[in-house]
Amino acid sequence: MIHQMTRSFFLFLSSRTTLNTFAQKWGLKFGASHIVAGQTMNDALRVAESLHSQGLTCIFDHLGEFVHSKEEAREATNAAIATIERIATSPLDIHLSVKLTQLGLSIDEDFCLQNMTDIVAAAKKHQVFVCIDMENYTHYEQTLRILEKLRQQNEQVGTVLQAYLRHAMKDLKQLHDVPLRLVKGAYKESEKVAFQKKEIIDEHFYRMITTHLKEGVFTAIATHDHRIIEKVISFVQKNNIPTDTFEFQFLYGFRPNLQQQLVQQGYAVRIYVPFGKDWFGYFMRRLAERPQNISFAMRGLLQR
Ligand code: FAD
């Protein structure tokens, strides 16, 4: 009950445009630097180098939400293309994650598709894999429509499916040939579309992971839940799933010991590295997921 209230509170804060605008002026505060790489791409590259030296690969996410004008969306598109070009000059293995609302999805779907088409063309030229993050349910159908069109130009594009959605398994089967990141889901969704009970979501998540792994298509298992990770490892061992058809993914700053254990066991581990000025919404969603994450914020406050 208390967890539900805290979750709703932080998710509410995460969607406040005004707070995000203030946060841009403050710079990384409240301990956000534990989980956000910094404000610039150079900061992200420094983090990527350090992770690489620990056997980890990366996904860059240039943070940005609350885009209300075509100019802002075009700016975000250019920033994504610049990120791809920069990644291409680095010897490190780095993917790119994007959010369609940052690229104008709430303004006009065709305009967003055009922006994504430009990003995907740059990604194809430089052979950088692009993953479209999944946002709240309002944008779900549009995201899948855009994905389908983009995959006709470049197969190195995938997306995310959220196990809390009741119809996620049906969609997983339709996307059986698409490289997918599977997650439990980070937003607050209605009971009509999303399971609310943790045990049901966990079970659905595990079934989705094993279903996609059996297809032999690339599967990113994005979770900090050691119980799910242990079950997946038992499954892949028992079913001789080749280790180059999946990877574990973690958010930057979360469970570094578990990341290292997996690397030492020979599994591929990729770290999602967010950077940029728009850190506030991302930081609030992480606090919503796990009340214990508030310790980041408390430590951050005490340091000031
Ligand atoms: P939880 O259900 O939060 O935790 C389960 C259990 O794991 C806990 O009870 C605890 O025992 C243990 N645990 C979890 N975290 C910790 C910790 N920090 N320290 C110690 N023990 C811990 N969501 C989206 O909706 N769209 C996306 O595009 C998206 N992309 C993501 C990308 C990555 C790489 C990751 C890792 C997550 C992403 N998410 C995304 C968020 C995801 O949906 C979940 O909200 C988030 O990962 C929390 O769920 P969990 O699976 O980690 O486990």
Q: Give mean pLDDT, residues 186-211.
A: 96
pLDDT of residue 264: 97
- The answer to whether the beta carbons of residues 63 and 32 sit under 8 Å apart is no
Interatomic CA distance for residues 221 and 270, integer angstroms: 10
Which residues, in sequence order, are bridge partners of residue 98? 132
* pLDDT tens-digit series, residues 218-240: 999 999 999 999 999 999 999 99
- From first CA to last CA, the distance across the chain in angstroms is 31
How far does residue 21's CA lie from ligand 1's centre (Å)?
26
Whether pLDDT at 281 is above 70: yes
* Count of alpha carbons within 13 angstroms of residue 278, beta-carbon side: 17
Our CA angle for 232, 235, 239, nearest 5°, is: 145
Whether pLDDT at 280 is above 50: yes
Whether pLDDT at 304 is above 60: no
Of the candidates 223, 232, 219, the one whose C-alpha atom is nearest the C-alpha of residue 272 is: 223
CATH of the structural domain 37-278, one choice from 3.40.50.300, 3.40.50.1820, 3.20.20.220, 2.120.10.30: 3.20.20.220
Interatomic CA distance for residues 287 and 300, integer angstroms: 13
Substitution site in 132, 183, 227, 230 for ligand 1 pocket (most atoms within 8 Å of beta carbon): 183
Mention every residue, 6+ apart, whose C-beta is less than 8 A from residue 33: 300
Substitution site in 102, 184, 228 for ligand 1 pocket (most atoms within 8 Å of beta carbon): 184
Residue with tokens 């297809």: 215
Of the candidates 270, 293, 183, the one whose C-alpha atom is nearest the C-alpha of residue 228 is: 183
Burial of 253 per CB tally in 10 Å (0-12, 13-18, 19+): buried
Of the candidates 125, 39, 110, 40, the one whose C-alpha atom is nearest the C-alpha of residue 73 is: 110
The active-site residue, picked from 151, 181, 270, 285, is 181
Q: Where are the domains positioned within the chain?
A: 37-278
pLDDT of residue 33: 78
* Count of alpha carbons within 13 angstroms of residue 218, beta-carbon side: 17
Q: Which residue has the higher pLDDT, 213 or 7?
A: 213
How far does residue 23's CA lie from ligand 1's centre (Å)?
24
Whether pLDDT at 92 is above 90: yes
Substitution site in 223, 249, 272 for ligand 1 pocket (most atoms within 8 Å of beta carbon): 223
Q: How confident is the model at residue 279 (pLDDT cuts 50, 70, 90)?
A: confident
How far does residue 167's CA lie from ligand 1's centre (Å)?
20
Q: Whose CA is nearest to atom 26 of ligand 1?
A: 134
pTM of the model: 0.91
Whether pLDDT at 106 is above 80: yes
Q: Give mean pLDDT, residues 206-221.
A: 96
Atom of ligand 1 nearest to the CA of 133: 28
Mention every residue, 6+ apart, whose C-beta is less than 8 A from residue 280: 14, 19, 20, 23, 24, 32
Q: Give mean pLDDT, residues 277-291.
A: 77
Q: How confident is the model at residue 301 (pLDDT cuts 50, 70, 90)?
A: very low
Interatomic CA distance for residues 112 and 149, integer angstroms: 12
User: What single DSSP character describes residue 108?
Assistant: -
Residues touching ligand 1 (Cβ under 6 Å) are 133-134, 160, 162, 183-187, 222-225, 249-251, 254-255, 272, 289-290
Q: Which DSSP string do the residues of 227-245 spell out, in sequence order?
A: HHHHHHHHHHHHTT--GGG
Q: How confident is the model at residue 274 (pLDDT cuts 50, 70, 90)?
A: very high
Q: Whose CA is nearest to atom 7 of ligand 1?
A: 225
> What is the three-class DSSP state of 116?
helix
Q: Whose CA is nearest to atom 2 of ligand 1?
A: 225
Our CA angle for 253, 268, 181, nearest 5°, is: 75
Is 133 a known active-site residue?
yes
How far does residue 120's CA lie from ligand 1's centre (Å)?
27
